[in-house]
Chains A and B, each alone.
Chain A
Amino acid sequence: MSAGKTIRVTVNSVIYERTVEPRLLLSDFLRQELALTGTHVGCEHGVCGACTIIVNGDSVRACLMLAVQADGATVETVEGLGSIHKLNPLQKAFQEQHALQCGFCTPGMLMTVTDLLRKYPLATDEDIREGLSGNLCRCTGYEHIVRAVRTLVRQTEGTP
């Protein structure tokens, strides 16, 4: 067996130090070591997008990174966006536009859109659909998800 490595990772502004096996996926690290189960695990090979999180400012598939690679990194997960009692504007838009049914894909959708909004104007529905094309919703609730993002983009445009 390969030796454990001690890593220090900042997740949602909290610093965690753990010793992990090199083969531990970042998705499993978040869920099993840190009990942050908001990051969902679907396909485990980078196709479904459910485990999307943000590492050092960029959205990534948590199932395609090793926990040891996150040593020293700043990680954002869905738990960092808002809380049940205080949803952030993106979560609020998802709630108001009924952009989730079963909710399994939702954390990945939210983290993907968080990064998209930082990098692209998302001016058209086509841009939004293109941006979300790497996240699968098995309830096929895409229409409402696109509507939620569109609503949020328009609201944000209205504010200085």
Chain B
Amino acid sequence: MRMRTPLLAGTAVLATLGLAACGSGSGSGGSDDGTIVWDMWSGSQSDTDALNETLAIVKKENPDVDVRLQTAPWNDYFTKLTTNLSSGNLACITSMNGQRLSTYADAFEPLTDADLEAAGLSKDDFAPGALDIMTYDGKLLGVPYDVATMLVYYNKDLIDAAGAPEPATGWSFDDFEATAKGATTDANAGFAVGLGEFQWMALPIAQSGKQPVSEDGALALTDPAFVDASEWYAGLVTDQKVALPAASASDTGWGENQYSGGNAAMAVDGTWNAATYLANDAGFEAGMVELPTGENGSTSLVLGSGYGIAKGCEDKEAALQVLGSLVGKDAQDAMATSGRSYPARAESQPLYFESLDASVRDDVKAAFDAAFADVEGQRSTQNWDQVNTALQPNLVSVYNGQAEMADVLGQTQQQFGQ
């Protein structure tokens, strides 16, 4: 019996040592053996196949560097990133979504003009505003590979059947309301409200001309113009009754699903889903148009994703070369031609439309041109992701008429504003 206590303690100590060894075993950057790891999200085999095509281009352009691709599904990607960060084990080339950059800003090595030059890149290569996607707090933390903005998608069949006016380029908020009202019938709603961050915020931002983050990077959910526009937005459900209240706070894609299921005539979503909606499973004819214009113009934000170099990457020179190839002309052309994403590199953008069916090509191009014509960079705070997580379940109460939009914004501002 007397033996047991010291032995148990000894075992525990040994186990702890083992754990500690695990923690410090592999060096940061994951490039001990001269390999550059490229960490990227991928939801399916076809995504991974496409990434492997890009990888082949990168390898061809950099025969002397050993590059390895590592993927995880979208949601797991960020959980895994958090874990890798806390153990100081980040991949040299880490992919990042612009909306989440603020949360992970500390993880990235700021890129200077000299760095870009070493990568064979120039700021002029990219579409206007594209570099803002990977900029936080005045520092360029990565290079974008795609650009996106929010569009209003509409169901031509429902709108025609109801005899409502079809949305057209240059439309106003009055036109938007007219279409939403006209397309609302007993069987379907004219519009579907969103729960995701820009799926709902895009219209209030466009109408008020105000982002919910001030220019100096402070949370500004209670800006009077933004609050008014948000109340108008919630009123589409509660007052004008042209949209249905969300059914549950766990339906994060509520508005988008209502639209793609043919239950709503219009919804707001990003340009990244254009190809998906054009080939929707429900079989309706989809159209798209830029956000409507109001008294304050039509402020829309440029969104997107890019690749950054992790702090502590051991072979920055090689990583820069790989980075240059990942957003180089060949890789961007290949991505655009496949229709997967709208590329960030300006000269590759026209190829995206060529991948689309000829019958919709001109309409999509017109909508994209109008939507990207006057975009501004998205500002965010360090806890932007948390702000949206906290807002989402409260929006459900707002849409169901059990809370006021102004109160919800006020409480969230109070909780995250300091």
Partners in one complex: no
List residues of chain B with CB under 8 Å of any chain A CB. Answer: none
